[in-house]
Structure 1
Amino acid sequence: MHRDLSRIRIKNLRLRTYVGFNDEEQEKRQDVVINIRIDYDALAAAQADSVERALDYKTITKQVIAHVENNRFLLLEKLVNDVLELVLAHPPVRHVEVEVDKPHALRFSDSVSLTMSASREG
């Protein structure tokens, strides 16, 4: 029997950071909304009901919060890529997709978002 990877979703993580290159964006923190999809093999954790074998998404989330809130980003692309690489640094992660929304970035629009994804080779 073949089993697909399991999927963890961290939904609507609302943080504040400096993002953008305009003067106003550099002087005032802005809201960002982060969604992360993580695929990993959860079968061993599920079968053993073992915390030690499960992906520690709480630690990943804390790392994302600290990184986003304690840094400045000229580009949304940089912010998204940093989060992507931070998550992919955890060995059990096989695939990750990160979307970051910047609410009210454009007049007449709810938000602007950027999505990037990456998979571990092998």
Structure 2
Amino acid sequence: MSNVSNLAAPARGFSLEPALITITNLRLRTYIGFNQEELSKQQDVVINAEIRYQASQACEADSEQLALNYKVITKAMISHVEQGHFRLLEKLCADLLQLVMDEPRVLSASITVDKPHALRFADSVSVTLAGKRDRE
């Protein structure tokens, strides 16, 4: 019988690039827009996020304490969206990017916010913003 833990031994012969966490199609409702109907009625938004962080210690130790807790980040995003009122997709997207970048281990992130049915003949309209940690 082989020892399964040997499969996760530290990698040799290459360096590990930052991990990419992808949050796909987080569907929420919020007040978004500036027309009268948009100000009084919640609308659907769909959020996608890509978050990069250095996960080498988490990989080597197989420890959740060393991993980036994407559940905590996602809960903060949900709370911000559901409790907020936004005029522009750009503002909502920038707020979500800031929430992600507030986690010091995040190296870079990209957030896309879609507003389904924002245009009559389109499936959705989206805004994407990205940021990366400034080098010190």
The TM tier, using the shorter chain, reads over 0.9
Max radius of gyration: which structure?
2
* Residues 37-48 of structure 1 mapped to structure 2, 5 A cutoff: 37-48=50-61
- Aligned mate of 1:56, from 69, 72, 77: 69
Match of 1:33 in 2: 46
DSSP-derived class of the 1:2 partner: coil
TM-score normalised per structure 1: 0.98
Counterpart Cα distance in 2 of 1:71 and 1:108: 27
Summarize deviations over 1:68-101 as a string: whole Å, max 9, x none.
0001000100000000000000011000000000
Alignment partner for residue 118 of structure 2, among 86, 102, 105? 105
Give the partner amino acid of 1:98: I
TM-score with structure 2 setting the length: 0.88
**2:17 matched to 1:13?**
no
Q: Which runs of 4+ in 1 moved over 6 A?
A: none
Matched, 1:67 2:77: no
**What's the CA shift for 1:121?**
1.1
Residue aligned with 1:25, SS: helix
**Number of matched pairs:** 122
> Partners of 1:5 and 1:62 in 2: how far apart?
23
1:41-65 C-alpha deviation (Å, 9 max, x unpaired): 1110011001100000000000000
Deviation at 1:2, TM superposition (A): 2.7
Inter-partner Cα distance in structure 2 for 1:89 and 1:9: 17
User: RMSD of the alignment, in Å?
Assistant: 0.6
Q: Does 1:78 align with 2:91?
A: yes
Structure 2 Cα separation of the partners of residues 3 and 57 of structure 1:
20
**Any unmatched runs of 5+ in structure 1?**
none
Q: Percent identity, aligned pairs only?
A: 54
